[in-house]
Amino acid sequence: MNDQVDGRELEKISVEVAREAAELALAVRDRVVGARSVADLPTKSSATDVVTAGDEECEALVRERLGVLRPGDVVLGEEGGADAEPEPGQVRWIVDPIDGTVNYAHGLPWFAVSLGVEVDGRPLAGAVVEPVSGRVWSAAAGCGAQLDGRTLRASALERPGLAVVSTGLAYDPARRRRQAALLARMAGEVGDFRRQGCASLDLCSVAAGWVDGYYEHGLNHWDWAAGALIAEEAGAVVRRPGAPGSEDPDGLGAEAVLAAAPGIAAGLADLLRAHGVAEV
Ligand code: LIP
């Protein structure tokens, strides 16, 4: 860890700012969900990748607050992109103003504000705040992970065949079909599947032991930056994607995110490889 930056302090700031954005997300949601049909919302990468006023207003708030609290840092956000490339040793915030936007737009409660903090590509701290439940998940590298102040521990399961596994599906319909085909092949190999629609909360669910594992391909950095650290600090085995265009050293797909309880991580990865994860 960079000696000049205090992971605990950054964790505190990430919680504070994510909480403020979470309050705003709820305040805006009534207007967004009530007044407009989801079919009328603007989209990004595909016809189902919606963007709401909530996403935009929350990211603007996060950028404004970080500009005051951490003026020397740079920000990469889902809606506004990168304000600058980080210098060596410079703190970078990875912001998903609303992860689980489809849930948010449809009135489902599983969405979150996710703020990750990195230096030189290494995760230092992060927070995931759920506006509806008020739950606050956070971690600092080497200091453990918490849910509302309670220390988190990944599940102790050792049999992949009993694992409850969460996964996600891409906005791109062609990839979504390939992911669904993999899920169908895996369905008889693990205990059960969940699709919550919010990658950061999938990762937090691994941290809490609510699910035993999670995998997904094609996420953006802001979807996993905070949640991956929270899962790792809770003792889960975490595999992050490489840089764009990078190799696939373990056969899970260069773009794979995987987080799993330590007792099933290798077994789950083997099952995914054996059932054609490379095709996703
Ligand atoms: C979404 C996720 C969802 C995942 C999608 C997407 P967004 O993020 O968290 O669970 O399956 O691929 O990345 O667009 O709501 O921030």
User: Do 15 and 111 share a domain, yes or no?
Assistant: yes
Whether 148 is in a domain gets the answer: no
CA distance 220 to 171: 12
What total of structural domains would you count in the chain? 2
Distance from the CA of 4 to the center of ligand 1, in angstroms? 33
User: Do 132 and 32 share a domain, yes or no?
Assistant: yes
Q: Which atom of ligand 1 is nearest to the CA of 96?
A: 16
Whether 19 is in a domain gets the answer: yes
Domain boundary among 76, 108, 143: 143
User: Do 177 and 130 share a domain, yes or no?
Assistant: no
User: Do 13 and 91 share a domain, yes or no?
Assistant: yes
User: Do 73 and 166 share a domain, yes or no?
Assistant: no
User: Do 97 and 174 share a domain, yes or no?
Assistant: no
For residue 36, the model assigns a pLDDT of: 61
204 close to ligand 1 (CB < 6 Angstrom): no
User: Do 24 and 119 share a domain, yes or no?
Assistant: yes
Look up the CATH number of the domain holding residue 165. Answer: 3.40.190.80
At residue 8, the 3 state secondary structure works out as helix
User: Do 254 and 218 share a domain, yes or no?
Assistant: yes
Whether 192 is in a domain gets the answer: yes
Ligand 1 binding pocket mutation candidate from 51, 95, 98, 99 (most atoms within 8 A of CB): 99
**Does residue 1 have a pLDDT over 50?**
no
User: Do 83 and 174 share a domain, yes or no?
Assistant: no
* 183 Cβ neighbours under 8 A, 6+ residues apart: 167, 193
Domain boundary among 143, 174, 204: 143
Smallest CA separation from ligand 1 atom 5, residue: 170
CA distance 76 to 262: 31
CA distance 77 to 81: 5
H helix or E strand, kind and range, residue 143 = none
Whether 153 is in a domain gets the answer: no
226 close to ligand 1 (CB < 6 Angstrom): no
Whether 205 is in a domain gets the answer: yes
pLDDT category at 181 given cuts 50, 70, 90 is very high
- Provide the residue range defining the domain that includes 179: 160-279
42 or 220, which is more confident? 220
Instruction: Write the CA distances from 13 to 68, 207, 257, integer angstroms.
Output: 11, 21, 26
Adjacency order of strands within the sheet including 150-151? 81-82, 74-77, 91-99, 112-119, 122-129, 136-140, 145-147, 150-151
For residue 199, the model assigns a pLDDT of: 98
112 close to ligand 1 (CB < 6 Angstrom): no
User: Do 117 and 196 share a domain, yes or no?
Assistant: no
User: Do 139 and 171 share a domain, yes or no?
Assistant: no
Tell me the average pLDDT across 219-234.
Answer: 98
Domain boundary among 88, 116, 143: 143
Whether 126 is in a domain gets the answer: yes
pLDDT tens readout for residues 20-58: 999 999 999 877 766 567 777 778 777 777 778 889 999
Whether 154 is in a domain gets the answer: no
pLDDT category at 2 given cuts 50, 70, 90 is very low
User: Do 131 and 170 share a domain, yes or no?
Assistant: no
Q: Which atom of ligand 1 is nearest to the CA of 202?
A: 10
Q: Which atom of ligand 1 is nearest to the CA of 222?
A: 16
43 or 118, which is more confident? 118
Q: Which tokens in the block code for residue 56?
A: 């935009």
169 close to ligand 1 (CB < 6 Angstrom): yes
Whether 220 is in a domain gets the answer: yes
- Enter the pTM of the model: 0.95
